[in-house]
Structure 1
Amino acid sequence: MDQIFFSGTLPPSLIFILGAMLVPALSGRLKQVYLLMLPLAALLMLMSMPNGMHWNTSLLGYDLVLGRIDGLSRAFGYIFSLVSFIAVLFALQVKDDIQHVAGLCYAGAALGVTFAGDLISLYIFWEIMAVASTFLILARRTKSAHGAAFRYIMVHIVGGLLLLAGVVMKISQTGTTAFDYIGLGLNDPASILIFLGIAINAAIPPLHSWLQDAYPEATATGAVFLSAFTTKSAVYLMARTYPGTELLIWLGAAMAAIPIFYAVLENDLRRVLAYSLINQVGFMMVGVGIGSELAINGTVAHAFCHILYKALLFMSIGAVMHMTGRSRCTDLGGLYRTMPLTCLFCIIGAASISAFPLFSGFVSKSMIISATGHGKIVAVWLILQFASAGVFHHAGIKVPFFTFFGHDSGLRPKEPPLNMLLAMGIAAFLCVYLGVNPGPLYSILPFPVEYVPYTGAHVVAQLQLLMFGALAFTLLILSGKYPAEIRAINLDTDWFYRKGGRLFYVVADKVFNGINAVSARLTTGAVRGLAALCDALPATVAVIITAPVNWLSGSERRNGHAWKAFVQEALATGTVPTGATILVITLGLACLVAVALVL
């Protein structure tokens, strides 16, 4: 086995996963410091690592690479480590070790996927991600959370199986576990299966409904982890394996546009954020599909910024939920009076996701839109402009307006604990810092950057778009035409998989439990028959052996049934006539002598 260590260090993924195992053994301040040190250690290690293949080992004759570090993986590794620190800080007050362990394993698995240089370790970390993230939903311990977690893991098991099938076929085709660019080939089943497995995690429509079903059911802190890793690790893999795939341009455009309509109608604020997450990943898919250096740089930059501002939005709503127990538009409003800092942080997140100039979303999203313009993909360019206005409408205005302003709900909660405020403050600072000074972000992108976001045309065009969205929202509110926030469930394509999940459960229950029942009956009958046979066997053998005794003794019990009853009674009571015993012994010795003479 080759060395799994590099300069005496562990891979960042294993720092998280192995480190999580010690969490239940710690308590108090020591546990909190330890939790914060794990992501910092991973980040510092990554910063010191040169590009190349590290932490090589082998398994069953296959080469495994746990540390493929290059421009693409390094950028995702930085943001995954950074957001892990922010999410852990936000969750420090949580007493539930399951959430801490699951969150760390989830983050570690995402880093494992990011740095995997082979298909086997990629699949292993992919499945660890699915399992660990499920516990962040289950940890809420409500009936709806349990149902959502069941549907969530069911979908990701299907995605994992598709990925596994593609991996096995690809290894069989190439004879190696290494992977990089794959490309989508209609005559290559392996590439199609791997693509579908990644597409499920990327929440590409119509395979997206697991996301808005599951994320709102997670704990307040668990949703922060969930918003960062699953879809963005899928974005990374798409950028690694399928750049320039034209199909992704159109899938991404649909992905950016369709969720807007659902987000406008949605009452639950975390479902609104889930839909806006799908919308933003759509921009990234368009960038991957275009595949140019500008587009890939835009995708990576937007993933980096998106993780920060989406985590900030989920943290702000999570803080509100933590203090009030509510997350619906109809239950909230007027909270700016007693939660001014949380309100400010939410507005910064909203401005960032809306791509306001001087906020992080502006310096990343505009790269992707510019790439569509350079590629002369006019229809997609128009769709992305519409999607930009739409996300400002629902995530940029609706979320902070109905949470902190709007009608007065009468709630007067205090600000959340200090650790939550610090986590939101760090994320908010980075959203503003990267928006004002994008140089550090551009310096870690996979390709050299010559793009300048702050040109007169970019700024004016974006402000016009945003002001149009703000005007439309204002007019709809003042005219009473804005869709009412009501307590309702808006069915998406999740209707099919909810029904499908229930059908799968019923079929599985009838088929497999029916097989179990039949097997139980057959097994019970066989065991009972064998027991009866074993119970009767000694008496039967004794009757056969003693039949000569019965005949020679001239007994009155020459009748077979009578003799059988006599022998059974004798065996049961242990009272066998002495003469019969002597006769049996004599016959036995005679048989032995006869056998000896014959041999």
Structure 2
Amino acid sequence: MSDIVIPPGLVLIVGAFALPFVSLRLRNVLLLGLPLVALALVWMVPDGEALRLSWFGYELTPVRGDALARVFGTVFALMVFGGGLYSLNQPRTLELTSAYAYAGSALGVVFAGDLLSVFVFWELMALASTMVIWSAGREAWGPGIRYAIIHLLGGVILMAGVAGQIWTTGDIGFHAMATDGWPRWLILAGFLINAGAPPLQAWLPDAYPAASWSGMVFLSAFTTKTAVYVLMRGFPGAEILLWVGLFMACYGIVFAILENDMRRILAYSIINQVGFMVTGIGIGTELALNGAAAHAFAHIIYKALLLMSAGSVLYMTGKSKCTDLGGLFRTMPVTTVCGTIGALAISAFPLTSGFVSKSMINSAAGEEHLAVVWFVLAAATAGVFLHAGIKFPWFVFFQKDSGMRPPDPPANMRWAMYLLSAICIGLGVFPQPLYAILPYPVDYEPYTGSHVVQQLQLLLFSGLAFFLLLNALKRTRTITLDVDWLWRGLAPGPAVRLARWVSAWRAVALERLGGSLTFVVGSLRRHHGPEGIVGGTWPTGVMAFWTTVLLAGLLVVYYI
């Protein structure tokens, strides 16, 4: 407590607002240097309360360190570095400023030790991420508005829960909580909205693909994974998270298979992968929580790699529909190879990071004899290989020739993909560095013969099913309707009719009120105006008489 501790997120937030005012060369230096400084600061935060502040009688803890915070802080800082390297040729400084403020706010949530600090950084994260979407241009305005509405709603629910928690317990500490009161249920609901949980999960595939080729890389890393972090911190072992997570895992697969837009495919797969993590949190054992943290770490890297490859295709071709793409492996070999590595990692293929992280969650379900959970997760793993492991690279890079011959993207974008590809393979081959920083001691060996054979069988038969059903899986120029259609398509009709009825009722009410006011004013004028009986001049004797009468009446009332 005596040493000066600098909040890691503060460096990114302050540095973000310097970006618009420096030269291009210095901007690029800041884009690469700020996350490295933040990464160093992450590992300089000691365990326990590192910074405390007094605010209106509350003791706030804006910085608190432990193993869980360092896991997420480390991968967030690495992600900002990779995203900054990928975005060096992004001309929109507004996007980069918003993205770095967004990442800094996410780090603020990770190291916050009280609910009020969590809420402040939570809302800053929502505002900054909305700006990342809007910075893509006019077409992103509508999705950005809908994104902001959902996240501000989640913030209001979270704040109501925090206020209720303080009112009922007087405790503002951010620690594990039981779901035993309405304030904590509201806090849980606020967290789940950011995780992309039902029934408001459609904000993610609606808003994220509206961002620019670089903006979606940043968006994929922080909002949902910060939600995973706060769920791990606040509600480990909550049974409801088991079923929410399983629903998310299956929901993401179904809609990703139906989707035609490559970035919407990857957006739906975010929901699917977060579902694995939420399920692990719901299981709640040390192995399951380690698995959720490890999978969040791995997911941030390989998902960013997939979106970098998709963003490179969008950057070089201007197209994102699978029906418009194909045959790009001929002239974009680096993008193809790196995208394929990301696809194998998300599919939990052996020797990739996804294999050594996702398997921990499955094993935890097996150890707890949760048969239904284990089988659903196994089926979901096969489904991931269908939509992200095979469908994405096949239709974008290998299917029928689209006739386009774009080259690989600029060097900085390739270097970013090289970096994340190396991390995906490095962690898959040598998982011990990742296991060493997890919240609990790890006694787990992913590369057992039975596990490797089981996973290969699952993936290979899933691949066989893909090619056998290839004609059915080919996409057409269609739009996939999600549950947001209820308020974007179905609700506007009744809402417009209700607005018209309210407008007509208001007009009638105002007309009647106006008539009543006119009558009252007229009556007052008739009686109290210059010609009225009350407004006229009365003789002094008459006034004295009535004054005497009133005083007499007052005396009578007083004595009675």
Pairwise CA distance, 1:400: 0.6
* Residues 474-553 of structure 1 aligned to structure 2 (within 5 Å): 474-477=467-470, 480=471, 482-499=472-489, 502=492
Structure 1 residue corresponding to 2:401, chosen from 398, 408, 411: 408
Q: Look up the match of 1:241.
A: 234
**Residues 398 and 116 (structure 1 numbering): CA distance in 2 closer, same or farther, change over 3 Å?**
same
Aligned residue for 1:219? 212
Q: For 2:469, what is the secondary structure of its paired residue?
A: helix
Deviation of the 1:207 alpha carbon: 2.2
Task: Name which of structure 1's ranges 493-502 and 15-24 shifts more when overlaid on structure 2.
Answer: 493-502
Q: Does residue 80 of structure 2 align to residue 87 of structure 1? A: no
Q: Is residue 157 of structure 1 aligned with residue 152 of structure 2?
A: yes
Q: Is the Cα–Cα contact under 8 Å of residues 83 and 307 in structure 1 kept in the other structure?
A: yes
1:347-366 pair list within 5 angstroms: 347-366=340-359
CA contact (8 A) 2:45 2:64 kept: no
Q: CA 1:350 to 1:8, structure 2 compared with 1: closer, same or farther past 3 Å?
A: same
Match for residue 104 of structure 1?
Answer: 100
Matched, 1:180 2:199: no
Cα distance change, pair 509–425 in 1 and its aligned pair in 2 (3 A): farther
Distance 2:374 2:420 in 1: 30
Higher Rg: 1
Structure 2 SS opposite 1:64: strand
Cα drift, residue 516 of structure 1 = 12
> What CA deviation, in whole Å up to 9, does each residue of 1:401-449 have, x standing for no partner?
1111101001111111111111111110000000000000000000000
Amino acid at match of 2:170: G
Matched, 1:140 2:136: yes
Match of 2:237, SS?
coil
Residue 48 of structure 1, aligned match among 35, 44, 48: 44
1:428 and 2:428 matched: no
Paired with 2:504 and 2:8, the residues of 1 have a C-alpha distance of 47
- Is residue 292 from structure 1 mapped to residue 282 from structure 2 by the alignment? no
User: Which residue pairs with 1:396 in the alignment?
Assistant: 389
Residues 1:337 and 1:483: Cα distance change in structure 2 (over 3 Å): same
Matched, 1:283 2:282: no
**Counterpart of 1:76?**
72
Q: Distance in 2 between matches of 1:505 and 1:154?
A: 17
The answer to whether the Cα contact below 8 Å between 1:62 and 1:176 also exists between their aligned partners in 2 is: no
d(CA) in 1 for partners of 2:222 and 2:21?
A: 26
Distance 2:488 2:120 in 1: 27
Q: Quick one: structure 1 residues 30 and 384, their matched pair in 2 at CA, closer, same or farther if it must change by over 3 Å?
A: same
- CA separation of 1:15 and 1:323: change in aligned 2, threshold 3 A: same
Match of 1:594 in 2: none
Q: Is the 8 A contact 1:352 1:361 kept in 2?
A: yes
Aligned to 1:558: none
For residue 587 of structure 1, what is the aligned residue in structure 2? none
The question of whether the paired residues in 2 share the 8 Å contact of 1:199 and 1:207 is answered with no
Query: What is the Cα deviation at residue 49 of structure 1?
Result: 2.5
One-letter amino acid matched to 2:148: I
Q: Deviations over 1:259-309 (max 9, x none)?
A: 212111110011110111111111101100010000000000000000000
Shift of 1:507: 8.9
> How far did 1:59 drift?
1.7
Q: Which amino acid is 2:20 matched to?
A: P
Choose which of 463, 466, 488 in structure 1 pairs with 2:456.
Answer: 463
CA distance in 2, matches of 1:223, 1:200: 19
How far apart are 1:55 and its partner, in Å?
A: 2.2
Matching residue's letter, 2:353: S
Q: Is the 8 A contact 2:352 2:427 kept in 1?
A: yes
Q: With structure 2 as the length reference, what TM-score do the two structures score?
A: 0.88
Alignment map for 1:337-352 (pairs within 5 Å): 337-352=330-345
Cα contact 2:287–2:364 (8 A) shared by 1: yes
Aligned residue number for residue 34 of structure 2 = 38
The structure 1 residue matched to 2:223, chosen from 230, 237, 255, is 230
- Aligned counterparts of 1:515 and 1:308: Cα–Cα separation in 2: 56
Report the counterpart of residue 191 of structure 1 in structure 2. 184
Report deviation, 1:486. 1.0
Does the alignment pair 1:254 with 2:247? yes
The one-letter amino acid paired with 1:476 is L
Residue 513 (structure 1) shift: 9.9
- Once the two structures are superposed, what CA deviation does each residue of 1:132-187 show, in whole Å capped at 9, x if it has no partner? 111111111133x21111111111111100000000010112213212011212xx
Partners of 2:111 and 2:507 lie apart in 1 by 47
**Cα 1:506–1:22 shift into 2, 3 Å:** farther
CA distance in structure 1 between the partners assigned to 2:90 and 2:213 by the alignment? 10
Post-superposition offset of 1:494: 1.4
Query: In structure 2, the residue corresponding to 1:81 is in which secondary structure?
Result: helix
Partner Cα distance (2:494, 2:154) in 1: 16
The 1:37/1:242 distance shift into structure 2, 3 A limit, reads: same
Task: Report the Cα offset of residue 509 of structure 1.
Answer: 8.0
TM value normalised by structure 1: 0.82
Secondary structure, counterpart of 1:55 in structure 2: strand
1:19: how far off?
Answer: 1.3
Hey, what does 2:7 align to over in structure 1? 11
Distance of 2:282 and 2:418 partners within structure 1: 34
Q: Secondary structure at the match of 1:327?
A: coil
Amino acid at match of 1:225: F
> Structure 1 stretch 72-81 or stretch 438-447: which is displaced more?
72-81
Aligned counterparts of 2:501 and 2:75: Cα–Cα separation in 1? 46
Q: Secondary structure at the match of 1:48?
A: coil
Structure 2: how far apart are the matches of 1:94 and 1:78?
24
**CA offsets 1:473-495 (integer angstroms, 9 cap, x no match):** 11112xx3x23311111111111
- Quick one: distance in 2 between partners of 1:100 and 1:427? 20
The alignment covers a number of residue pairs equal to: 512
SS at match of 2:54: strand
Structure 1 runs of 4+ with >6 Å offset: 507-518
Q: Secondary structure of 2:389's partner? A: helix
- The 1:287–1:20 alpha-carbon spacing in structure 2 relative to 1, beyond 3 Å, is same
For residue 236 of structure 2, give the secondary structure of its aligned residue in structure 1: coil
Contact preservation (8 Å) 1:310, 1:353: yes
Look up the SS of the partner of 2:43 in the other structure.
Answer: helix
Identity of aligned residues (%): 51
- In the alignment, residue 72 of structure 2 is paired with which amino acid? F
Structure 1 Cα separation of the partners of residues 486 and 134 of structure 2:
22
Distance 1:13 1:75 in 2: 14
Change (3 A) 1:338 1:16: same
Shift of 1:369: 0.3
Return the alpha-carbon distance in structure 2 between the equivalents of residues 126 and 514 of structure 1: 41
Relative to structure 1, the CA distance from residue 514 to residue 128 in structure 2 (aligned partners, 3 Å threshold; closer, same or farther) is farther
1:297-327 Cα shifts (integer Å, max 9, x gaps): 0000000000000000011000110111111
What is the CA–CA distance in structure 2 between the aligned matches of 1:397 and 1:28, rounded to whole Å?
A: 39
Q: Helix, strand or coil for the counterpart of 1:345? A: helix
The 8 Å contact of residues 5 and 45 in structure 2, kept in 1 or not, is answered as no
CA deviation string 1:540-577 (max 9, x = no partner): 9xxxxxxxxxxxxxxxxxxxxxxxxxxxxxxxxxxxxx
